[in-house]
Structure 1
Amino acid sequence: MINNRKCYLFTVIILLFIGIHQPIFAQTQDIQTGEASWYGSKYHGRKTSSGERYNKNDMTAAHKTLPFGTKVKVTNLKNDEFVILRINDRGPFVGDRIIDVSEVAAKKLAFRGQGIVTVKVEVLELPGDYNPQNAGMYTIQTGAYRSSKNAMALSQKLKAFDKNLNVELMEDESKGKKVLRIRAGRFTSRQEAEAFNELLEEEGLSGLVKEA
């Protein structure tokens, strides 16, 4: 029964890779012009797509494609007011809107009372670990360790599960201490990554599917 399930999931992954899902060629746009909206108290404290908690008083924003951590300049084209925001969420998914800003940002841009305004979004700085080859890709974060020995042990288990699996150890910092985060695989869709993660779950090796 378990082997049949594994065969089915592998088939799904292969089909997604070669036929059902078309490759995504994401391109970072330096400047965009379009409608902006904002979100406030209703979402305050909720988790964003990046895993952070939304804070209506922080200078952050949601964008459909820009990497998390990207800094952008958003200018209200009606009054030329502008703010510098950090992308930490996905959206907006209403009409042709291009960005969803925090409540405090909407106040500074002087459109909180209007709800929607035409803006220009300019990319100022991409995150330090941004790799354009990963645009539109997904990976599985399978663990975070302070011990390099434990991190290497999990990496070896993942490679033993699939010798062709791309496994990366990313050095990060948490509360002033070094942390090794393990990322497994590069997938062209969330559905493909979730399917592979189910296979890992059966071996006790699953993680969290994230944008690469």
Structure 2
Amino acid sequence: MKNKILFISFFFVSTAFTGVAQGNFTETGQASYYGDEFNGKKTASGEIYNMNDFTAAHRTLPFGTKVKVTNTKNNKTIIVRINDRGPFKHGRIIDLSKAAAKEIDLIKYGVVDVKIETVSDTIEPPVIPDNNINLRKGYYTSELKKTSPKGYGIQVGAFKQKENALKNLKEISNKNNKPLYLYVTSNFNSKKYKLYLGEVKNKKQAESLKIELKKSGFPDCFIKKY
């Protein structure tokens, strides 16, 4: 009996905290959402819960896992990042932030039937931009690591203030599963910050991506060759 308990404990810890998500993980059950009273409180991952971010709680998926949540009643979907533990009520499999709940019409029902699916086999750590970081000219990933994307992307934002660029970097990263890049330009000691979504090989693919993004909240986006 003692060995059995130890095995179960080891399984839970390795599932919850390893750096690789459960590949092709799917689950069906009920979803609920956080009440307003939780806004600003610390989650199990150490992050502060923000009701306007697209995040969620799951009992076992590793922190940083991105999952697609589908309301099976209306087929509306949202991609969220796991940063908390729960829910612990029978039948419920995920707790959504208020912003995520609104996207799938969960608010008016309180609880809905959903299907959840991991959208990547690798973990994307929480994006917590540091406004004091010194960003030099060039491309950065959503984790603010220098990179060199190839092909074409779609410009979805341009900012004069670094703080606004980093805020939008976090929001777009939480909502999309496509590669996201921050591009810093420098001219006469003045920096500008641009955000690009996607990384495709040719212009035909870029045109298709642009049409998709225009329909999903970026009406003024346009193609950019990296």
TM-score, length basis structure 1? 0.51
CA distance in 2, matches of 1:174, 1:80: 33
Matches within 5 A, 1:78-157: 78-125=73-120, 126-127=122-123
Residue aligned with 2:70, SS: strand
CA distance in 1, matches of 2:32, 2:129: 32
Percent identical among aligned pairs is 49
Match of 1:54 in 2: 49
1:21 matched to 2:16? The reply is no
Q: Which structure shows the bigger proportion of residues in helix conformation?
A: 1
- Contact 2:65/2:124 (CA < 8 Å) preserved in 1? no
Distance 1:20 1:82, change over 3 A: closer
Residue aligned with 1:84, SS: strand
The letter for the 2-side match of 1:120 is K
**Post-superposition shift, 1:95?**
1.1
Q: Which runs of 5+ in 2 are unaligned?
A: 16-21, 135-226
- Post-superposition, which runs of at least 4 consecutive aligned residues in structure 1 deviate over 6 A? none
Residue aligned with 1:49, SS: coil
CA distance in 2, matches of 1:20, 1:33: 27
RMSD: 2.6
Number of corresponding residues: 119
**Post-superposition shift, 1:20?**
5.6
CA distance in 2, matches of 1:88, 1:57: 14
Residue aligned with 1:25, SS: helix
CA distance in 2, matches of 1:65, 1:74: 16
Per-residue deviation, residues 167-209 of structure 1 (Å, max 9, x unmatched):
xxxxxx98348xxxxxxxxxxxxxxxxxxxxxxxxxxxxxxxx
**Post-superposition shift, 1:128?**
5.3
Match of 2:60 in 1: 65
**Post-superposition shift, 1:19?**
7.5
Q: Relative contact order, CA 8 A, sep 6+: which one is greater?
A: 1
The letter for the 1-side match of 2:123 is P
CA distance in 2, matches of 1:122, 1:19: 29
Residue aligned with 2:101, SS: helix
